[in-house]
Amino acid sequence: MSNNHSDASIVVFWDIVDCKIPDGLNVNDVSNNIEKALKDCGYNGSVSIKAYGETDDFKDQFINAGINPMHVAGDTNHRVRSITIDMYAWVINHPDSVVMFVFGDISRDVGFIKELAELGLRNFRILLCQPPSATGLLFIPTTKVWRWDSLALGVPSISETERIKLVDVNNPRSYYVNQPESWKYGLDSDDEKGQEEALEPEEANLEFEYMSEIQRLKNVVQERDAKMVAMEKKKQEELESAYKSIREEFFFLSLSLVKATIQSLLFKGLSIPLFPIAFTVMELERFKVGLTPTVFYIPGFITDEEQTQLLNHIYGASGSKWKTLKNRRLQNWGGMVHEKGLVPQELPSWLTKITAKIHESSGLFSSTINHVLINEYHPDQGIMPHQDGPAYFPVVAILSLGAPVVMDFSPHLRFRSGDDEISRDQSPGAENCVPERDNQHSFSVLMMPRSLLIFKDDAYSDYLHGISDSPTQCYNKVVNEAEALALSATNSENSNEDSRKDGDKILHRDKTRVSLTCRLVPKVHKNLFRF
């Protein structure tokens, strides 16, 4: 609610009997003077004047002056009651407005004075104009007071000092001058009853009707106020819940947008640095593939640029770094792995950059990755099904570069009697072929360039993994089908790597693949000479 009433609507309730039109003036003059006096006090809102009394005689004059004539027969009380009822009808529809009373002496009407006081407390601005004979009401909580003889002539309102001077403390009708402040402001007081005088039966009837009407109107006002408060509360709640759902929708929308964007980029084989999103936001769990719970495939783990840089470093290494095996070439970085552990050699920074990224983002390695095996496969080369040795247990991460390839996983026979007989890949480059235990549980993973495959625990110890040396590989059984489909989509545009034969999905390997097998050998020999 605003306290500034300068532009608020104004209503003037004018008792034309007790505040007669001065001789020599007409209705129009008086109404102009009232409006002028209001303007002089800074009230510029639209003015609506209602006149009460024997208005029939001047009906046309009032109408011409834009004044609403309210014909009321009877005495001051009748007019005041009509005014009170209209006042309530007005305040119901005009909250925070300016209410001006131009009427006679109503100092006996304690109830009415209290109504005015209440209005003042409810952010209505109460203005009062009385004939010089009425002194009592000068002390009710009004904002401005005029004397009728001056207001009718357009003279300014009286000053506070003048108002006090005008109060005749000896006038019995001014009794409330000496009442406590709380009484003056319409608050409860036991004195009120004592001040009332006995009424004639007819008057008492009238009083009863009047009071019931006032009560009815007050109830309307209260109901309206309660409705407004409830509406305001409801509006606030609706706004709050709208904001809440917008915030939630926005949150989920942004999450799904991020997800959708990443997926669509991945499917298109585009280069995006996924690792911070892959692990910190989406968590490793989201990259689980297949039924074995410990196999993770993260497509696009590195960017095209990072892939190129890695390949440059790998092919930039001295020729002696390569060890040629029967069906592939390899580089060993990080030291030699022996039965008693790793005889370490510092990894070059171009490798620690990537191993640190794998270590930090996966959170699966108990300390820094200290060993990297780089394998190079031509299209007709592969690696026999094998199990990585216990030296690296329980986790391995393989980063793929260059061409795609299919890695097959098959359960091995470690559960048969004489488990010890199963040989393991204890040294770089050595792989061991072990017969499958159960073909039904075999699965394959399509390893796209720039992807990272991690397998650990059961997948590490209970399965053999290998790459066939065939230049064509079937990828029907791949568990990372989404990437396989993405591959088909990409290949159909620019290469003949993918084709279908008798319903089988065939990958044609026509380029070299390079992989980085990143592992941690926890057992490290610190002192080389003691070994």
Ligand X SMILES: O=C(O)CCC(=O)C(=O)O
Q: Which residues bind Fe ion (CB under 5 A)?
A: 388
Question: At closest approach, how far in Å is the CB of 371 from Fe ion?
Answer: 12
Work out whether 383 is an interface residue with ligand X (CB under 6 A): yes
Among 465, 479, 487, 490, binds ligand X (CB under 6 A): 465
Using only C-alpha atoms, the chain has a radius of gyration, in whole angstroms, of 49
Question: At closest approach, how far in Å is the CB of 465 from Fe ion?
Answer: 6
Nearer to Fe ion, 148 or 409 (CB): 409
Chain positions 424 to 453 lying near ligand X, rule: CB under 6 A, are 425
406 binds, among ligand X, Fe ion, none (CB under 5 to 8 A by kind): none
From residue 320, alpha-carbon distances to 316, 317, 331 in Å are 11, 8, 9
Which residue is nearest to ligand X, using beta carbons? 515
Question: In whole angstroms, what is the distance from residue 404 CA to residue 148 CA?
Answer: 102
Nearer to ligand X, 136 or 382 (CB): 382
With 0-12 / 13-18 / 19 or more C-beta atoms within 10 angstroms meaning exposed / middle / buried, residue 4 is: exposed
Fill in the per-residue mask, 385 to 414: x = in contact with ligand X (CB under 6 A), - = not in contact: ---x---------x--------x-------
With 0-12 / 13-18 / 19 or more C-beta atoms within 10 angstroms meaning exposed / middle / buried, residue 350 is: middle
Fill in the per-residue mask, 159 to 188: x = in contact with ligand X (CB under 6 A), - = not in contact: ------------------------------
Which residue in 25, 20, 149 sits closest to 79, CA to CA? 20
Nearer to Fe ion, 388 or 498 (CB): 388
Question: At closest approach, how far in Å is the CB of 411 from ligand X?
Answer: 16
Nearer to Fe ion, 306 or 388 (CB): 388
Chain positions 14 to 73 lying near ligand X, rule: CB under 6 A, are none
Among 373, 486, 520, 521, binds ligand X (CB under 6 A): 373
Question: In whole angstroms, what is the distance from residue 499 CA to residue 474 CA?
Answer: 10
Among 355, 375, 381, 480, binds ligand X (CB under 6 A): 375
Question: At closest approach, how far in Å is the CB of 383 from Fe ion?
Answer: 7
From residue 214, alpha-carbon distances to 83, 118, 338, 339 in Å are 11, 13, 104, 103
Size of the site for ligand X (CB under 6 A): 10
109 binds, among Fe ion, ligand X, none (CB under 5 to 8 A by kind): none
Q: Residue 445's beta-bridge partner residues?
A: 407
Q: Are 175 and 158 in contact (CB under 8 A)?
A: no
Residue 259 makes CB contacts below 8 A (sequence gap 6+) with: 282
**Which one-letter DSSP state was computed for residue 277?**
I
Among 299, 310, 515, 521, binds ligand X (CB under 6 A): 515
Q: Residue 146's beta-bridge partner residues?
A: 129
Sign of the C-alpha dihedral computed for residues 216, 218, 221 and 222 taken in this order: negative
332 binds, among Fe ion, ligand X, none (CB under 5 to 8 A by kind): none
Question: At closest approach, how far in Å is the CB of 427 from ligand X?
Answer: 11
Question: What's the one-letter identity of residue 265?
Answer: L
Nearer to Fe ion, 79 or 328 (CB): 328
Reading across the β-sheet that carries 68-71, which strands appear in turn? 68-71, 47-53, 10-15, 98-102, 125-130, 144-147
Question: In whole angstroms, what is the distance from residue 173 CA to residue 459 CA?
Answer: 103
Question: At closest approach, how far in Å is the CB of 270 from Fe ion?
Answer: 29
Question: In whole angstroms, what is the distance from residue 508 CA to residue 268 CA?
Answer: 19
294 binds, among Fe ion, ligand X, none (CB under 5 to 8 A by kind): none
Nearer to ligand X, 124 or 475 (CB): 475
Q: Interface with ligand X by CB under 6 A: which residues?
A: 373, 375, 383, 388, 398, 407, 425, 465, 515, 517
